Every structure is written in structure tokens, then in C-alpha cells.
């Protein structure tokens, strides 16, 4: 499935942060977003995921093909690892979680309450959720935070498998995941021009 983004403008807190963003993402390819802190990588991913309305431009197809992984993993401490994963699988109408558990090396932790996992193990569980959504386009926001080298390898392998199966991924990350043929999109040039006047009269009442 090909994702086409044209002339997209994204807003954060009522201010345009990026404008004129455009790219084409073919099936089986990954796109890496680069840019300094605060440039709007997270906002762009949230806009693609449909959590925030765009201020202009076009994204096709819509949020229904996107699976989004944010900084927070939505893990419930009192549920076990497999219960957490089975919940998201059930929500997305996917039957089996065995493959996702194996991909992220979580089989040994299956029955542990998620609250007792380490930060890296939680992150792996959060990323395993992507595999049970069954959606073709993964939106990953700093996916390797708190992962050790071996886990980064596991994660990169999971992304590669996803790409080989015809999926695609948009990843905001600063480290090299070693994905073959990943395109890099520098967000710096798309930074929105500062507004002409500082205080919008109507905005002041909102």
C-alpha cells in the first residue's frame, strides 16, 4: 500500500510547526524522520495517526491503515504481558499473539504482570503491540528509547519482517537501525514561518 502525503501542515498548540511536508512511501519501504528536538516529528506522526487535525494538505489513505506507537505504551501494570497484548489484538480483530511474543522475545515473560517488567521489557511489549494491530503502516515515535543493543536488533528485525511482508513504516529516530533502503526525510526545511503578528485577536478568547 502506497502512502501519499502532499503539502501537509501540522499544528501544535494552535501554532503551525511544519508546512509543505510531502512524501511518497511505497509498500516495503521505511521513512526515517530526522530533525532537532521540537521541530515537530511527534506532531507529524500524531497528525498522520489521526489524533490531531491537519491544518492543510492531504494524506492518503487515512488513519485507518496506520498503527501508532507513542512514547507511552498504554501498558496496564496489573495485567500480565499476554493479557495486555491479547487486549490490543482483540481490539484490532487479530486472533493470535504468539508470533508477536516470539518476535520481541517476550515468551518467557508471558505470565508476568506488566508492572514488574523493566523499562526495556515494557518498551518491547509496547512495540509488540504494533505487530498485533494488523495494520500496514507503522508510525513509530522514538521506538528505541530504553532498549539495549540486542533489543534494538530484535526491533529492527521485526520492522524488516514487516517491510518484507509488504508493510511500510515512518520512524522518528536518531539512531541507525540498519534498514536497507530506508529513505531519510530532514524536517528542518519544512519548518513553518513564524506568524506575521504575534497575537491573533480571536485566538486570545479561545
Partner 1 sequence: MIALLKRDLALAVRAGGGFGLALAFFLIVVTLTPFAVGPNAGTLSIIAAGILWLGALLSCLLSLDRILALDYEDGALELLATAPIPLEAVAGIKALAHWLTTGLPLTLVAPVLGVLLNLPEPGYLWLTLSLAIGTPALSVVGTFGAALTVGLKRGGLLLSLIVLPLYVPTLIFGAEVARRASEGMPISEFSTPLALLAGITLGTLALLPFASAAAIRINLR
DSSP-assigned beta bridge partners for residue 35 = none
* Half-sphere exposure of residue 47: CA atoms within 13 angstroms, side-chain side: 25
Contact code string over 82-101 relative to partner 1, x by CB under 8 A: -x--xxx-xxxx--------
- Distance of closest approach, residue 47 Cβ to partner 1, in angstroms: 10
The answer to whether residue 61 forms part of the interface with partner 1 (CB under 8 A) is no
Instruction: Determine, following the binding rule CB under 8 A, whether residue 62 of this chain makes contact with partner 1.
Output: no
Considering the rule CB under 8 A, would residue 75 count as an interface residue with partner 1? Answer: yes
Rounded to whole angstroms, how far apart are CA atoms 30 and 185? 11
Between 88 and 155, CB nearer to partner 1: 88
CA dihedral 42, 48, 50, 53 (to 10 degrees): 80
Termini Cα distance of the chain: 40
Contact assessment for residue 84 and residue 122, using Cβ atoms and an 8 Å cutoff: no
CB of 134 to partner 1, least distance (A): 9
Q: Which three cell numbers stand for residue 76?
A: 496496564
Given 37, 78, 108, 198, the residue binding partner 1 (CB under 8 A): 78
* Cβ proximity to partner 1, 63 vs 120, nearer residue: 63
**Which cell goes with 20?**
509543505
The answer to the question of residue 23 lying near partner 1 (CB under 8 A) is no
Instruction: Find the binder of partner 1 among 20, 28, 63, 120 (CB under 8 A).
Output: 63
CB nearer to partner 1: give 6 or 73: 73
30-34 and 168-172 as β-strands: parallel, antiparallel, unpaired?
parallel
Residue 4 or 91: the one with the smaller Cβ distance to partner 1 is 91
- Contact assessment for residue 55 and residue 10, using Cβ atoms and an 8 Å cutoff: yes
Which residues of this protein are in contact with partner 1, per CB under 8 A? 49-53, 63-64, 66-68, 70-76, 78-79, 83, 86-88, 90-93, 129
Amino acid at each position: 500500500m502506497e502512502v501519499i502525503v502532499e503539502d501537509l501542515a501540522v499544528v501544535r498548540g494552535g501554532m503551525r510547526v511544519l508546512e509543505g511536508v510531502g512524501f511518497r512511501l511505497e509498500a516495503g519501504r521505511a521513512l526515517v524522520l530526522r530533525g532537532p528536538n521540537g521541530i515537530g516529528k511527534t506532531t507529524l506522526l500524531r497528525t498522520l495517526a489521526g489524533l490531531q487535525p491537519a491544518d492543510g494538505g492531504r494524506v492518503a489513505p487515512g488513519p485507518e491503515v496506520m498503527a501508532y506507537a507513542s512514547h507511552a505504551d498504554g501498558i496496564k501494570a496489573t495485567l500480565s504481558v499476554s493479557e495486555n497484548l491479547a487486549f490490543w489484538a482483540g481490539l484490532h480483530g487479530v486472533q493470535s499473539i504468539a508470533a508477536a511474543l516470539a518476535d520481541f522475545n517476550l515468551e518467557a515473560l508471558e505470565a508476568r504482570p506488566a508492572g514488574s517488567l523493566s523499562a526495556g521489557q515494557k518498551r518491547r511489549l509496547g512495540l509488540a503491540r504494533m505487530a498485533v494491530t494488523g495494520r500496514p503502516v507503522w508510525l513509530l515515535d522514538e521506538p528505541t528509547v530504553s532498549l539495549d543493543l540486542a533489543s534494538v536488533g530484535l526491533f529492527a528485525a521485526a520492522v524488516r519482517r514487516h517491510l518484507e511482508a509488504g508493510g511500510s513504516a515512518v520512524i522518528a529516530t536518531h539512531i541507525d537501525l540498519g534498514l536497507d533502503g530506508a529513505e531519510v526525510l530532514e524536517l528542518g526545511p519544512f519548518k513553518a514561518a513564524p506568524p506575521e503578528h504575534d497575537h491573533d485577536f480571536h485566538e486570545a478568547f479561545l
